[in-house]
Copies of this chain bind each other. A is one copy, B any other.
Amino acid sequence: MVRSQETFMATLGLIEYEAASPDVRAVYDGIMATRKTDYINNFWKALAHDPVTLKRTWASIKEIMAPGALDALTKELIYLAVSTTNQCGYCIASHTAAARKAGMTNEMFAELQAVTGMANESNRLASGWQVEVDDRFKT
Of the candidates B11, B46, B97, B109, the one whose C-beta lies within 8 Å of that of A136 is B97
Contact between B87 and A113, CB atoms less than 8 A apart: no
Contacts of A110 in B (CB 8 A): 3, 8, 49-50, 52-53, 69
- Number of copies of this protein chain within its complex: 6
Contact between B86 and A137, CB atoms less than 8 A apart: no
- Is the C-beta of A18 less than 8 angstroms from some C-beta in chain B? no
Binding site secondary structure of chain A:
helix
- Is the C-beta of A77 less than 8 angstroms from some C-beta in chain B? yes
Contact pattern, A 111-138, Cβ under 8 Å of B = 1, otherwise 0? 1111111111111111111111110111
Contact pattern, A 34-78, Cβ under 8 Å of B = 1, otherwise 0? 000001011100110110110011001101110011100011011
Contact between B9 and A90, CB atoms less than 8 A apart: no
A36 to chain B, nearest CB (A): 16
Bound-state Cα–Cα, A68 to B111, Å: 8
Given contacts A84-B128, A89-B133, A128-B113, contact A5 B106 (CB under 8 A): yes
Contact between B3 and A94, CB atoms less than 8 A apart: no
For A66, give the chain B residue with the smallest CB separation.
Answer: B111
Bound-state Cα–Cα, A96 to B124, Å: 14
Q: A8-B110, A83-B119, A83-B123 are in contact. List 15 more A-B contacts (CB 8 A).
A: A1-B68, A5-B105, A42-B132, A43-B131, A46-B130, A56-B60, A56-B64, A69-B107, A78-B112, A78-B116, A84-B127, A90-B126, A90-B127, A92-B128, A96-B137
